[in-house]
Structure 1
Amino acid sequence: MTHSRLAHKQSGVALVSVLLVVAIVIIIAADMNGRLQLQMQRQINLQGHQQAYWYGMSAEAFVKQVIRKTLEDSEGEVNLSQPWAAKDMAYPVDNGTIAGEITDLQACLNLNALKEKSANSNTNTRTNTVNYATKSLQRLFELVELPTDIYPEDLAMRVYDWLDDDSQLITGGSAEEDDYAALEHPYLSANTSMVTESELRLILGFNPILIAKLKPYLCVIPNTDTQITNVNTLTEEQAPLLAALFEKMTVAEAQNVLSSRGEAGFGSIDDFWDHSDVKKQPNLDDKFKKRFDIKSEFFKLKAITTYDQSRFKLTSILTVADNKQNAYQVKTLARRFGDNE
């Protein structure tokens, strides 16, 4: 009887051991299956992201060809009636879409132009070094109703001091390294050119609401400190910008200039200067007139591509080179990925 009970007890222990081993095997198998599925999903996501990325690169390549062909057909003239300026461009592709928008970076005020050397840069007074772009920025701030109590001059000078090479204040209402270093979370002023308009967020006095208000008028062209405006790619909504580029032009006069263009803009830059509201402006010397054109060298592409569940954003700054034989080359000057503005 005792031997029978012992055998039965040993049999029960063996069964429990087998069940325990089976349970462990099931747990390991389930874990391996979960890891395998996770790894497969990661691979699918990676492949989807890579495909969306290459869709973005193809969009950039396509836009380069569109711009090149447009310039060749128009002998370098750029206006809003051309194919590159079409809005809401979206194209279906295999398992995804490619959408994008092209803007002319010479239809805005280039913030890096505030670094351009002024004709008075050799004078002893620092305020005399303020250049054309800085004065235009201040006028723009005066003409646009801004949601801030800071004086337009102070706002403009803070941008100037953020970009200039030294740590000296240009005016009492500006801001420099000491002001940024004294913040609760301190940092230093850049003292160099901007890479993107989003850097305005770092300058004292600028907030998201203010920046959104200024967005239609401002841009950044990397490594370029000149301000040349294409009068054929400014929209009528940008009339305050055109007015700001002149010493005395009113917004109403600027609106009249832009609305009186034909569908393809001014036929020549001389037609712009012959407009009655432009002709009456003061100080229109040859040097000043060189700041306006009907041609453009810089464009921005903002592309959004999708593939299955993957989404990719690309911002490309494109520059145009003319080899003097009406054979234009479009190159990528800068490229950014993701939400960066």
Structure 2
Amino acid sequence: MRYQQRSPQKQKGVALLVVMLLLAVMVVVATGLNERFRMDLQRTSNLVFYEQAKQYALGGEAYVPLLLKKSLKDKKTVNLGQDWAQELDMPDNPGAEVGLPPAHPDQDKDEFDGKPYKRKKIMRGARTQIIDLSNCLNLNALTAAPGATYQKSDDKDGGKDKESKDSQNSGVVARKVFIQLLENQGVGSTRAKVIAASTEDWIDSDQIPRTNGAEDEYYSALAVPYLAGNTQMADKYELRAIKGMTAKLYQRIVGQICALPEQSFKLNVNTIKKEQFPLLLAVLGWGPDRLKQLADVIKNRPEDGWKTVQEFLQKVGSGGDSSSEVSSSLDVTSNYFEARTQGFYSGASARIVSFYQRQDDKVTLIGRRIGGFE
């Protein structure tokens, strides 16, 4: 038997192929490791920059109570001519404006909350905008309407009983205003009453549905079941889960509603803006056809606002309903505020929405939501 001996030249070729294969594998592995390291480094940098931007935003949030105290000290009214109502830039280097890096060197504009603005140079800091929460319909006031379950007091002096009665009156007004607001948006009367009743059922503590309302029995039978809240709303976004509400309708009224931690409903006529005109129309019992008349009244509002509700009703004229229900739902001062703060750092940004309660000269942070604005 003969054995064919391989030539040295052929053995060298096989060895070269093995070396090249190993080299190719090592290059692929090294490239993958390098790319993964780069991504990990970028991810870490993003987290660090975001956290720093968040700290700037928290710093802006901490300044809001000081600004509110200073602006509203010894003031009998709350109006848009005061310092708190102005957008506030808080840079960490004087002379610059807050903003993100431009997309390219020629771009000299950026956006904050959807609004373009110019800046002198890129920097680090925060920007804050304070919003009055007394120019929206408090959904939690609906739970004080007749038929809702609320706790009565045994106070012998009748102080808390009076408070409960006032709260009930607010509930009656809030229900009427809510239905009118929905109807002004083109919602039929029957559907508007369904949404209002279902909202009251969502907030109250019992399991007895009102006429046109809904409790756990209705929601648990849906394709994606859930239960009613049966307590005050923590956020207005809960309205999206109410029977009869749709995403399209919610987007039309989201700027008119809020969820405050109390059962009262007061609308500050001194801080009403164009976006809240539909709500004020509903309070006055007007239809959309009187929008221009209302716009003219607000346009001629004094810079420091009206001193009393009666002054506003006089400006509205004979066309306005000056009944006790309307006047009791209007005010010239505010106790709740929302601050939208955006922090910037090295191209990163963080947004915080904070909620404050004002009692006399004390301003307290009562809630916070980290994330985007509406």
Please say whether Structure 1 and Structure 2 have the same fold, judged by a TM-score greater than 0.5.
yes
Structure-1 separation of matches of 2:71 and 2:217: 49
Contact in 2 for aligned 1:196/1:220 (Cα 8 Å): yes
The answer to whether 1:183 aligns with 2:211 is: no
2:75 matched to which residue of 1?
A: 75
Deviates more, 1:18-27 or 1:100-109: 18-27
Q: What value does the CA root-mean-square deviation take over the aligned residues?
A: 3.7
TM-superposed CA distance for 1:48, in Å, is: 2.3
Q: Distance in 2 between matches of 1:229 and 1:309?
A: 39
Question: Which residue of structure 2 aligns with residue 32 of structure 1?
Answer: 33
Would the alpha carbon gap of residues 242 and 28 (structure 1) be closer, same or farther in structure 2, given more than 3 Å must change? closer
Letter of the 1:50 partner, please give it: E
Q: Give, in angstroms, the shift of residue 6 of structure 1.
A: 5.1
> What is aligned with 1:137?
178
Give unpaired runs (5+ residues) of structure 2: 91-96, 100-121, 151-167
2:131 to 103, 113, 125: 103
| Aligned 1:150-229 pairs, distance under 5 A | 150-171=190-211, 173-221=212-260, 223-229=261-267
- TM-superposition CA deviations, 1:158-197 (whole Å, max 9, x none): 21122111222211x2222222222222222222222222
Displacement of 1:298: 0.8
Whole-angstrom distance in 2 between the partners of 1:18 and 1:259: 82
Compute the displacement of 1:46 (Å): 0.9
CA displacement at 1:263 relative to structure 2: 1.8
Amino acid at match of 2:63: F
Decide whether the 8 Å contact of 1:150 with 1:205 is kept in 2. no
Q: 2:205 aligns to what SS in structure 1?
A: coil
- C-alpha distance in 2 between matches for 1:278 and 1:84: 34
Distance in 2 (CA, whole Å) between partners of 1:281 and 1:97 is: 47
Correspondence for 1:330: 363
**What letter matches 1:334 in structure 2?**
G
Higher mean displacement: 44-53 or 257-266: 257-266
- Tell whether the 8 Å contact from 1:79 to 1:265 is kept in structure 2 after alignment: yes
Shift of 1:79: 0.2
Do the aligned partners of residues 152 and 3 (structure 1) sit closer, same or farther apart at CA in structure 2, a change above 3 Å counting? closer
- Residue 70 of structure 1, CA deviation: 0.8
For 2:239, the aligned partner's letter is: L
Partners of 2:249 and 2:296 in 1: how far apart? 27
Distance (whole Å) between structure 1 residues aligned to residue 372 and residue 185 of structure 2: 27
Deviates more, 1:251-260 or 1:59-68: 251-260
1:203-258: per-residue Cα shift (whole Å, max 9, x none)?
1222222122223321122x222212222112366344335436x67775866764
Change (3 A) 1:335 1:299: same
Distance 1:317 1:112 in 2: 16
Structure 1 residues 189, 310: closer, same or farther in 2, change over 3 A?
A: same
**TM-score, normalised relative to structure 2:** 0.72
State the identity %.
Answer: 29
The residue aligned with 1:293 is 331
Q: Distance in 1 between matches of 2:189 and 2:286?
A: 24
Match of 2:154 in 1: none
Q: Secondary structure at the match of 2:129?
A: strand
Of residues 36-45 and 84-93 in structure 1, the stretch that sits farther from structure 2 once superposed is 84-93
- Contact persistence 1:216–1:238 (CA under 8 A): yes
In structure 2, relative to structure 1, the CA distance for the partners of 1:298 and 1:278 (3 Å cut) is farther
**How far off its partner does 1:266 sit?**
0.9
Shift of the 99–147 alpha-carbon distance from structure 1 to 2, 3 Å rule, reads farther
Q: Is residue 273–residue 279 contact of structure 1 (8 Å, CA) maintained in 2?
A: no
Q: 2:280: which partner in 1?
A: 242
Give the match's secondary structure for 1:315: strand
What is the rounded CA distance, in whole Å, between the counterparts of 1:280 and 1:305 in structure 2? Answer: 44
For residue 23 of structure 1, what is the aligned residue in structure 2?
A: 24
Match of 1:294, as an amino acid? V
Secondary structure class of the residue paired with 2:324? coil
Q: Does 1:314 align with 2:352?
A: yes
- For 2:268 and 2:276, how far apart are their aligned partners in 1? 12
Tell me the CA shift for residue 10 of structure 1. Answer: 4.5
